[in-house]
Amino acid sequence: MSLDFSVLLRFQEALALGLWTTVKLTLICIVLGCSLGFLVGLARTAPNAIVRGIASVYVEFFRGTPVLIQLFWIFFCLPLILGIELSNLASGVIALTLYMGAITSETFRASLKSVGREQMDACIALGLPRRVQVMNVILPLAVLRAVPTLLSNCVSLFKESALVSAVGMADLMFVGQNISNNTARPVEVLTVVALIYFAIAFPLTRAVTLVEGRILKKLAI
Amino acid sequence: MTSASAPLVAIRALHKSYGPHIQVLKGLDIEMKPGERVVVIGPSGGGKSTLLRVMMGLEKIDSGAVTFGGKPYISSAGPDAKTVIDTEVRRSIGMVFQHYTLFPHLSVIQNLVLAPCKVRGEKKASAMRRAQALLERFGLGAKANAFPAQLSGGQKQRVAIARALMLDPKLMLFDEVTSALDPELVAEVEQVILQLANQNMPMMIVTHDMWFARNIASRVIFCAGGVVVEDGPPEQVLGAPREERTREFIDRVFHIKQ
């Protein structure tokens, strides 16, 4: 078997477009999913049992089912139930945001727990209203403490996003598969696609570990 | 309540327990006049810290009532009733804790201005000016932009005191504020509290440091087993206690010290 990576040169633009879709989808779902995850994490510590219950059911359901079936369900079933057409991107965003929300809510739940009673005492002693407690103390502390785990959640999402190719969304994976089928050069094409994913995911984990070590050390949190 | 003898704080029949079996406060009655500096001493588990936490509105109570400046502040009709805390009144009380409890993600000056800006709507520039002046006064002018993790324990505790003072409290509560400090850092914190005492700031202090107690107190309360055992001027309670239990405690403490 002879390898010829030059076939890929013709598809640079297609791969770049696919990568852009992957990155765009990932970034949107990181922002939305982390926000959702924080709120759900907060809800899971809420005094109200009903709020806690709803949050747990959501998290357990999304953690306990394959992402692929979640994607399929939102692509094919949700439009039927709602009676509206959803664009590929919209469906992908909804599905991966819900998945990301469930995963990061667990991360936030742990970090929220670590914002101890003493910090809460200080908030009360200073008369901070609940909104200020959450926005200025609990949220930043929980986020800073969650950074390492959140980061690996984000890298996972970046990789999991390849699943949207299964429902016809033209992301990096989808483009790669197409090129592979058209050129009958799966080894070259799929290897390069894998390397592109790796080239983005790997430095990301490294870089943030570095930054995180510095920030967290400075703040001792 | 403008009469000089009207109490600043009146605690009536205060009961507090943790769970069904641990009764910490068993009917506490304390009156505190404006300008008084009350030091609460007593054995561990005697309810001293719990008393301060209740005063700060951090704890539910079983029954009893606390008034502040003549206004109802905390009350509860019984163990199953809700503890009612007037949060407006609570804002006139400041507290400093044993473990500093500074916000680690905020710089020193941000720690100081957070509450004035967010609670009282003070302009940032004005709060920053006041904060900087307060830090200078406590010998921390150069530390305004440091983060808590970069400070010594004594510095942290002085920042915590400054942070509480930013809200112009009418009463300060100090809960074992030097207990977590290395011995050589205790004095700098006690100096700051003595400075406040000289300005007639009413305060309630829980401490194990008898030298400090003697130097700062206008009145000492010996608390044990959830009740007030002895209450009087420092010369009496620390020097010549009338109650047997107080004497035993004082003897033990000073025996260890010498």
> Distance of alpha carbon A199 from its chain centroid, rounded?
18
Contact check, Cβ <8 Å, B102/A127: no
Q: Mark the ranges of chain B whose per-residue pLDDT is less than 70.
A: 1-5, 255-258
Cα(B25)–Cα(A115) distance, integer angstroms: 28
How much is the pLDDT for A112? 85
DSSP annotation of B83: P
How much is the pLDDT for A85? 85
How much is the pLDDT for B78? 77
Judged against a pLDDT cut of 80, whether residue A67 lies above it is answered with: yes
CA angle B115, B121, B126 (to 5 degrees): 85
Contact check, Cβ <8 Å, B58/A136: no
A-chain residues near B87 (CB < 8 A): 127
Q: Does B170 contact chain A (CB < 8 Å)?
A: no
Judged against a pLDDT cut of 60, whether residue A97 lies above it is answered with: yes
User: pLDDT tens digits, residue range A164-203?
Assistant: 999 888 999 999 999 999 998 899 999 999 999 999 999 8
Architecture, CATH, for domain A11-219: Orthogonal Bundle (1.10)
Using a CB–CB cut-off of 8 Å, the residues of A that contact B are 118-119, 121-122, 124-129, 132, 136-137, 140-141, 144, 218-221
Domain ranges of chain A: 11-219
> Distance of alpha carbon B116 from its chain centroid, rounded?
20
A-proximal residues of B, 185-204, CB under 8 Å? none
Q: Does B148 contact chain A (CB < 8 Å)?
A: yes
* Three-state secondary structure string covering B91-142: CCEEEECCCCCCCCCCCHHHHHHHHHHHHCCCCHHHHHHHHHHHHHHCCCHH
How much is the pLDDT for B256? 54
Q: Does B60 contact chain A (CB < 8 Å)?
A: no
- Amino acid identity, residue A124? I
3-state secondary structure of B20: coil
* Long-range contacts from B126-130, C-beta under 8 angstroms, 24+ separation: B127/B166, B130/B166
What would the two tokens of residue A14 be?
A: 């297609």
Judged against a pLDDT cut of 90, whether residue A55 lies above it is answered with: yes
> Distance of alpha carbon B242 from its chain centroid, rounded?
26
How much is the pTM?
Answer: 0.78
- What ipTM does the predicted assembly reach? 0.87
Backbone angles phi, psi at A215, to 5 degrees: -60, -50
Cα(B128)–Cα(B117) distance, integer angstroms: 10
B228 φψ region: left (φ > 0), alpha (ψ -120 to 50), beta (else): beta
Average pLDDT, chain A: 90
User: pLDDT tens digits, residue range B9-35?
Assistant: 999 999 999 888 888 999 999 999 998
Classify each residue of A58-72 as buried b or exposed e, where b means 16 or more C-beta atoms within 10 Å of its C-beta.
bbeebeeeebeebbb
A-chain residues near B148 (CB < 8 A): 219-220
B-chain residues near A146 (CB < 8 A): none
What would the two tokens of residue A153 be?
A: 């959640």
What would the two tokens of residue A187 be?
A: 């080894």
Gap from A116 CA to chain B (nearest CA, Å): 10
First to last CA, chain B: 45
Sign of CA dihedral A161, A166, A171, A172: positive
Q: Which CATH number fits domain B9-257: 3.40.50.300, 3.40.50.720, 3.20.20.70, 3.30.300.30?
A: 3.40.50.300
Query: What are the beta bridge partners of residue B16?
Result: B25
Q: Does B51 contact chain A (CB < 8 Å)?
A: no
How much is the pLDDT for A221? 61
How many residues in chain A? 221
